[in-house]
Amino acid sequence: MTSGSDEQQGTAGGGVSTGRPRILILNAALAGAEGNTARWLARARADLAAAAVLDEAVLAGPGAETFAGLEPRLRAADGFWLATGTHWDGWSSVLQRFLEEATPAECTDLWLGKPAAVLVTEHSVGGKGVLSRLQGVLVTLGCCLPPCSGVVLSRSALLARRHEPGAAEDFWGADDLGVVARNLVLAAGRRRTDWLAWPVDRQDFNRVWVE
């Protein structure tokens, strides 16, 4: 899905890109476009649409995309919003596969210096661990993290907010998606493009190393 204009200004001399940033929403939820995560992403999209050019890809279900197919769209993006459910304390298997397939692109211009926001959904427990580990992976791939750009939407926390609004008001909720969206757009619109990357083995990282 693409919305808004395609206008994109070039990179300024200081290595800072300007203009309306292009954000790729990567729905990596197990239930794809039909699940819980997709419903929250629909709200996030509304928060992003006014300030960014949006693209969206789904990694599971009908029309599921792969890393190889997405590569040009990942490269064209100024920033990413990744989203997954929590599955046995981990992220979805489709996200794991995507990350494995993305390995040869580690620290390339596809990721380098691009801000990444993360939405994790869960029933009750494990989502914050998923969020923190995924943010760590994204930084190792080459992305950067804007402040307040990772959120866990938990069924249990939302129930607590509904029944004990006073006591649970600082639990993450749908209203926090707007903060994440704002910070992602801000970081993507001002992203630097002159970062350094350390050497990465792209050819032989699969080799058998046990002698």
Ligand X SMILES: Cc1cc2nc3c(=O)[nH]c(=O)nc-3n(C[C@H](O)[C@H](O)[C@H](O)COP(=O)(O)O)c2cc1C
61 is a contact residue toward ligand X (CB under 6 A): no
CA distance 117 to 119: 7
Binding to ligand X in span 84-113, by CB under 6 A: 85-89
Binding segment for ligand X (CB under 6 A), chosen from 50-58, 101-109, 121-129, 167-175, is: 121-129
Contact at 8 Å (CB) between 167 and 159? no
Residues 6 or more apart whose CB falls under 8 angstroms from that of 90 comprise 96, 126, 130
35 is a contact residue toward ligand X (CB under 6 A): yes
Q: Which amino acid would we find at residue 157?
A: A
Closest contact distance (angstroms) between CB of 45 and ligand X is 15
CA distance 161 to 111: 36
CA distance 185 to 86: 25
Choice between 89 and 175, CB closer to ligand X: 89
42 is a contact residue toward ligand X (CB under 6 A): no
Count the site residues for ligand X by CB under 6 A.
Answer: 18
189 is a contact residue toward ligand X (CB under 6 A): no
Residues 6 or more apart whose CB falls under 8 angstroms from that of 194 comprise 14, 15
Selected binder of ligand X within 3, 12, 50, 123 (CB under 6 A): 123
Residues of this chain that interact with ligand X (CB under 6 A) are 29-31, 35-38, 85-89, 121-126
